[in-house]
Each structure stands twice: as C-alpha cells, then as structure tokens.
C-alpha cells in the first residue's frame, strides 16, 4: 500500500496558508496514484510530530511543500518525524539538488522515503512558467514579456536564493520570455525597483512562495507599488513607472504544483502509472479553443 | 461520555445477505479446503466458525451447528445467519486489521463488550458515541452494511432536513476552519466547532475521514493509549528540542520549579480551551498541579500553540517585577479583575450593551478608561518605565 504525505508550514493566524496543500493533495487523490494522501503541518494539525501515525500504508513517500533546502527541510522536519540517523549528507545536495533519503521514522518504526522540497525540483521551473500563463490567461505568454522571479532573499537561508537563480536560469535558457530576472524582498536587486530592471513593457511577477500570506498579499504589492495599501487591492496588470506588472501571487497556489509533488515521489521510487500525465493535463490553462 | 447510547428499542433486524459477503465467505472456505487436511477453521470470528471438511462445510453460529454439502446449502445457512456473516465480513474483510481505524469503528459499536446479536439489535436503531464535539451514530442497513451519521453534539435532536447535508468528507475542512463567529480556528481541538451540518449515510472510511479532519490524529493517539503505548513527551523534553526562534523557551526553566508550567496548562489546556486530555506533565517525575481534563482523546505533548505561547511568555516573564502605586476605588480594583476574567473566559461578546451591573460592560470599561487612563494610556498617569 503506497502512501503520500505532504508536509507544509501552515499558520496559527492565516487560514489561507494550508489551502494550497489541501488543493494539491486533492488533485493527487483524484489521480489515484496513491492509496492514501495525508497532509501534516508545522503550525496546524495533524502536526509534523503526529502525521505519520495517521498513515496506514507501508510504502511511504514524504514530500515537503517548501521552497528551499534549509532549516525546515534539513532540521525541523527530520527531527519532528524522528528520522533515525538523519544527516543532511543523506541528500548529497549542493543546496538545490536534494533527492531523497530512506530512513526509519521512529514514530512508527517503519521506513519512509524523505524527499527533497518541491521548490528545488527541476519541474518547479515549469510551475513558474505555468503561473505566468495563468495570470495572463495566455498559454503562450512569453514574447514581449519579461519574467520576474521573486524570493525572500538570503537573510535567513543562502539556499533560498540558489533555488530562485536556478529556476530563473533554466527558464531564461528556454528563450521563451524576452528577459528573466531574479529580485528579492530583502536584498539587491530589490523587488521595489522592478521597472528599473526590465526593458519589457509587460512583466509577470511570480513570487516563489508556497502560500499566499503576509509577504505575497501585503508586502510585495505595496513594495512594488501596485497599491498604496494592500487592503485597497490592485488590478492585474497594474502599470508602475511605465511597466505593466502582472502580479501572480504565490507560485505554490498554482495547480501544477501537484505535479512537482508527484515528481518528487516518483524520483524516490513511487509507482505512479500515468498520474503525472493526468495531473499535467488536468491542471492546464485553458486555450480557449 | 464513556458509555455508548442505544436509541430506540432493540430487536435483531433481518439482514439480506449481500453477494460480496457470501463471495468472501466462499473464498475463505476454498482457500483452506482442497487435498491438504485443513489446519483449522477457515473462519473463527465472534461466534461464527466455518470449517471445511472434505465435501462438507461445517458452520457453527453461537454454538449451533449446521452442515452444508453444497454451495446452495451453504448459502442457505449463511443467509439464515446473515448478521454473523456480515459482521465477520465487515471487520475482517472491509475494515481490515491492526489499524486505529478498525479499533475506532469497533469502539463505536462497543464490539468488545456486546455480542453480535446485541450489536445488530442496537445498530438497527443507532448506537451513538461522542468524540469531542462530534456525535457519531452507527447504524446497520438491511444488507448488514455499517452506515454512519456525524454531526455536532448540539444538533443531537435536530431533524436531518434542518441541517446542511454533506456527503464528501472533505467538506469537513471548511466546517473546521472557522468558528461560529467566522474567526479562524488555529486549534482543531478547541471547543469552538460550529454546528448546523450533518454527514449522513457515510461508510466507515468516509466517517473516519470526517473524524480525522475534525480532530486530526486523535484516533491514532487514543488507539495507542488503549494499547498502553502512548508516547508522552513532557514539557521539559518538548521545550528542550525546540530550535530557531523557539529555542529561547529552554531558558524559561531555570530549575526554580514548575509553577510557570502550571500557569501555561491552566491558561491553554483546560477543557474550556481544548478538548484533548492533557497527559504530559512537567517531566516524567514531576506532575503539574492542574487537572488534565476529561477529554476522550489524549494530548501527548505541548502543541505548537503552547510552544508559540511559551515563546512569548519566556520573553515577558524575563522581566523583573517592580512596585507601582495606583489610586483606585475598591470597585475599580474589582472591575479590573472582572475585565481580566471576561477576556480570559471569552465572555465580552455576550455582555449586554446596557447591562451596567456587569463590571466588564463596555460603557463601564470606557468610563474607567476616561477617568483613569491618561492621554498616553497610562493607568492613573503612572508611566510604565521611569521617565
């Protein structure tokens, strides 16, 4: 019996925090790739500490719905799940290349496949592009458009910027967008100065966050100048200093994120049959045909 | 509530043996028959014993013995004793072995205490259990299938047509996210579940998903506790493993007793705040002095809300006490105490606007503020810090 466990941060204050986690879990349930799909949280319930005891399967894939490899994926989650013998070297990662580690979770006395976070998987580049398609409602968006990939910055974790640069490089190499730049909230180049970093008239701004919350709903819209006060709302697109900014909100809310979760599990050995193709198809942006 | 309630009268219902239960019985018999002498009965479960002896199948039901020489005869015997066959089929083939889910559905119908006949008689009208603020009613259909109705305790007697009916267990997510006043519920086991809804005619897995969504991991922990293997992490261990911004809570235990943890438990873990029964203590040698509550499911370690609150209190409690001097009337002193009580008990919303007798009445509080707080909000004009 094959089980998937999706782990996320959650929130004591914001009901939207867990919404993408549940949405992606539902998408994956519908694909029938797993006998069961469970969700666990750091700040909600079931807590990371107790989620594994709600799992009935014996082939268990644990996928963290986090953007970067760092404090949560390398320290908090392995500790709370009680992964015996965990060492970050198990992932043999340069900060963006974690794969998986098979370890006994002492909570349940059974092996689990602990996967790297969704944010550093190569398929995440496709989600960023899909997010741009969603917010522009154009499955072919690219020509005449710039793409700004925005992250928190390195203040808390140097791998956070690595993940953002990694995906921006990959998307740039495809040549789909006229220009692709990385911007940050708390370091240079800053998202506040977005128009200065782009020549394109239209720029899609995709924040690399898992859920919408304080940063994506309040900080970024105000910092970029989409609005004076986030409570007033803003249009998509909104022109700021001559640049039309298409603000996408947290990339983690994009339905295709379910695909990255599946890719992580597949890389760790999960048998998914045609679930990957199914999920890619069911989460597509309509072409209007 | 520890005892299940049976609604209505109790007579064992007639059950039409469904095809899948009989097929499962045939399959069980055929796997142990054949040329090799069988090593025991194919089925031996709660009063139903089925054994293959060559061409004959011997069926015993509550000690009464039948012999069937053909599939048709076996079907006749099984159909005459459909309660026992469907009971075996449900627990041994549908619910499966060893899981908390199985233990929970057995507990719902008091399977360990009641015979199959007693149970089916009770299930015919409905067996009710309470789980936190949930009321779960187990019934059996005329084909021997378990069905469950889940609703809020306070909706016990409400006709089903007057409640919002749901079929998809995932709908429970929306129900648990906000309290009756529309506020976000950060703690699923807070006694603030809203009512007005019902999940009806669920099968056992759907019922279990609803319970798991409303009170995550409570069945798993209850199950471990019943088996005597609940892994309790006390305050000291839990705070000791915190890191990052929560690492500071380790400095709150200074070897000067556990009074502060009593306060935390009294503040956060009382039944009025959380329906889990607190099983964690200060450490494995030192119990807290406050009651752990009466909840049916246990709390095995300080939760993330308690850890977050402890972080805040660690900072606040690091301050040194000092002496202030305030001029208050006796009634004003009592009013301040009543205001603290009203907020702590979540009572402010229910105090009527014109009820001036209540010290926590809004006009009373506004009068006190007008009189006793200066322009900077200082009580009696006394600054918090020296100027």
Q: Is the pLDDT of residue B38 over 80?
A: no
ipTM: 0.93
Cα separation, B89 vs B27, whole angstroms? 11
Nearest to B21 by CA among B90, B81, B80, B71: B90
Q: What is the pLDDT of residue A168?
A: 97
DSSP A239-258: EETTEEEEE---GGGSTTHH
For residues A154 and A272, state if they share a domain: no
* Mean pLDDT across chain A: 94
Residues A29 and A107 placed together within one structural domain of the fold: yes
Confidence tier at B304 by pLDDT (50, 70, 90): very high
Count of all residues that appear for chain B in the document: 387
Q: Are residues A149 and A192 in the same domain?
A: yes
Q: How far is B332 from chain A (nearest CA, A)?
A: 34
Q: Could you say which DSSP state residue A151 is in?
A: E
Judge: B186–A26 Cβ closer than 8 Å, yes or no: no
Query: What is the mean predicted confidence (pLDDT) over B95-101?
Result: 93
- Distance between CA B108 and CA B137 in Å, rounded? 8
Same domain, A97 and A154: no
CB contact under 8 A, A44 and B184: no
Region A60-71: what's the mean pLDDT?
95
Selected residue with higher pLDDT from A186 and B238: B238
Assess whether A272 and A223 both reside in one domain: no
Q: Which CATH number fits the domain that encloses residue A17?
A: 3.40.50.1400
| Closest CA in chain B for residue A14 | B184
pLDDT value of position A207: 97
> What pLDDT score was predicted for residue B36?
57
Q: Which residues of B touch A (CB under 8 A)?
A: 99-101, 170, 173, 177-178, 184, 186-189, 212, 216-217, 220-221, 224, 231, 241, 243-244, 300-301, 303-305, 308
Cβ(B135)–Cβ(B156) below 8 Å: yes
pLDDT bin (cut points 50, 70, 90) of residue B10 is: low
- How many Cβ pairs within 8 Å bridge chains A and B? 58
A113-163 confidence digits (pLDDT tens): 999 999 999 999 999 999 999 999 999 999 999 999 999 876 667 788 899
Q: In 3D, which of B121, B140, B114, B101 has the Cα closest to residue B18?
A: B140
CB contact under 8 A, A14 and B173: no
Q: Which residues have a Cβ under 8 Å from the Cβ of B360 and sit 6 or more positions away?
A: B335, B338, B339, B341, B342, B343, B347, B348, B351
- Does the residue A289 lie in any domain? no
Predicted pLDDT at A289: 45
Probe site for chain A from B185, B220, B244, B302 (most A CB atoms < 10 A): B220
CA B375 and chain centroid, separation:
49
> Do A105 and A139 reside in the same domain of the chain?
no
Which of A88, A84, A111, A116 lies closest to A100 in space, CA to CA? Answer: A116
Residues A240 and A263 occupy one common structural domain: no
Report pLDDT for B123. 96
**Interchain contact A165–B (C-beta under 8 A):** no
Both A58 and A110 in a single domain? yes
Q: Quick one: A149 and A51 in the same domain?
A: no
Decide if A288 is inside a domain. Answer: no
Where helices occur in A35-192 by DSSP H, the ranges are 48-51, 77-81, 124-136, 158-173
Domain around A233: 124-251
Sorted by where each starts, the structural domains of chain B and their CATH numbers stand as 19-92 (no CATH), 97-223 (3.30.1360.190), 231-316 (3.30.70.2320), 323-387 (no CATH)
Q: Which of B231, B241, B303 lies closest to A47 in CB terms?
A: B303
Instruction: Please tell me the distance from the alpha carbon of residue A121 to that of residue A67, in angstroms, as a whole number.
Output: 9
Per DSSP, B357 falls in state T
- Number of structural domains chain A divides into: 2
The verdict on A61 and A17 lying in the same domain is yes
Lowest mean per-residue pLDDT among A80-94, B6-20, B85-99, B139-153: B6-20
Tell me if A76 and B243 make a contact (CB, 8 A cut-off): yes
């Amino acid at each position: 019996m094959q089980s998937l466990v999706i782990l996320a941060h959650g929130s004591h204050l914001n009901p939207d925090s867990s919404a993408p986690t549940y949405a992606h879990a539902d998408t994956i349930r519908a694909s029938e790739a797993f006998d069961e799909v469970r969700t666990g949280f750091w700040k909600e319930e079931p807590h990371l500490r107790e989620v594994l005891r709600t799992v009935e399967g014996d082939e268990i894939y644990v996928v963290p719905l986090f953007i970067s490899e760092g404090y949560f994926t390398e320290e908090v989650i392995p500790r709370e799940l009680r992964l015996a013998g965990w060492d970050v070297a198990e992932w043999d990662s340069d900060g963006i290349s974690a794969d998986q580690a098979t370890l006994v979770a002492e909570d349940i006395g059974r092996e689990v496949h602990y996967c790297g976070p969704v944010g550093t998987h190569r398929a995440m580049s496709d989600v960023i592009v899909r997010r741009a398609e969603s917010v522009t409602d154009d499955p072919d968006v690219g020509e005449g458009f710039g793409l700004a990939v925005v992250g928190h910055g390195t203040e808390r974790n140097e791998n956070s910027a690595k993940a953002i640069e990694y995906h921006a490089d990959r998307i740039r190499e495809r040549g789909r967008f006229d220009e692709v730049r990385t911007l940050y909230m708390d370091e240079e180049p800053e998202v506040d100065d977005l128009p200065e970093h782009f020549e394109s008239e239209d720029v899609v701004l995709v924040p690399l966050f898992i859920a919408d919350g304080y940063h994506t709903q309040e900080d970024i819209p105000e910092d970029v100048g989409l609005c004076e006060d986030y409570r007033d709302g803003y249009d998509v697109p909104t022109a700021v200093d001559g640049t039309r900014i298409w603000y996408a909100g947290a990339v983690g809310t994009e339905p295709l994120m379910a695909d990255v979760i599946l890719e992580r599990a597949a890389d760790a050995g999960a048998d998914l049959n045609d679930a990957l193709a199914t999920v890619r198809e069911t989460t597509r942006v309509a072409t209007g045909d | 509530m520890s005892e299940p309630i049976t609604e209505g009268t109790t007579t064992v219902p007639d059950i039409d043996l469904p095809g899948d239960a009989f097929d499962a019985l045939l399959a069980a018999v055929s796997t142990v028959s054949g040329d090799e002498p069988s090593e025991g009965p194919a089925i031996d479960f709660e009063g139903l014993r089925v054994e293959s002896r060559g061409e004959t199948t011997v069926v015993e039901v509550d000690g009464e013995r039948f012999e069937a020489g053909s599939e048709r005869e076996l079907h006749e015997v099984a159909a005459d004793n459909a309660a026992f066959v469907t009971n075996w089929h449900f627990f041994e083939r549908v619910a499966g072995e060893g899981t908390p889910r199985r233990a929970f559905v057995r507990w719902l119908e008091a399977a360990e205490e009641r015979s199959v006949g007693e149970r089916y008689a009770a299930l015919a009208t409905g067996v009710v259990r309470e789980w936190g603020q949930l009321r779960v009613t187990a019934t059996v259909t005329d084909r021997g299938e378990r069905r469950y109705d889940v609703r809020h305790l306070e909706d016990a007697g409400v006709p089903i047509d007057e409640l919002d009916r749901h079929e998809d267990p995932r709908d429970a997510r929306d129900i648990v996210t906000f309290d009756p006043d529309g506020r976000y519920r950060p703690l699923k086991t807070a006694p603030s579940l809203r009512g007005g809804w019902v999940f009806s005619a669920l099968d056992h897995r759907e019922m279990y998903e609803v319970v798991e969504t409303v009170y995550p991991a409570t069945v798993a922990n209850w199950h471990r506790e019943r088996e005597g293997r609940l892994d309790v992490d006390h305050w000291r261990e839990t705070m000791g493993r915190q890191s990052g911004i929560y690492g500071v809570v380790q400095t709150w235990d200074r070897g000067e007793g556990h009074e502060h943890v009593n306060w935390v438990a009294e503040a956060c873990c009382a039944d009025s705040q959380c329906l889990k029964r607190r099983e964690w203590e200060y450490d494995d040698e030192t119990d807290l002095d406050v009651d752990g509550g009466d909840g049916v499911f246990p709390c095995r370690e300080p939760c993330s809300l308690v850890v977050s609150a402890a972080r805040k209190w660690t900072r606040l409690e690091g301050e040194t006490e000092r002496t202030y001097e305030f001029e208050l009337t006796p009634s004003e002193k009592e009013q301040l105490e009543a205001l603290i009580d009203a907020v702590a008990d979540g009572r402010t919303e229910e105090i009527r606007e014109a009820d001036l007798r209540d010290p926590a009445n809004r006009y009373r509080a506004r009068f006190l503020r007008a009189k006793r707080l200066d322009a900077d909000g200082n009580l009696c004009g006394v600054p918090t810090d020296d100027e």
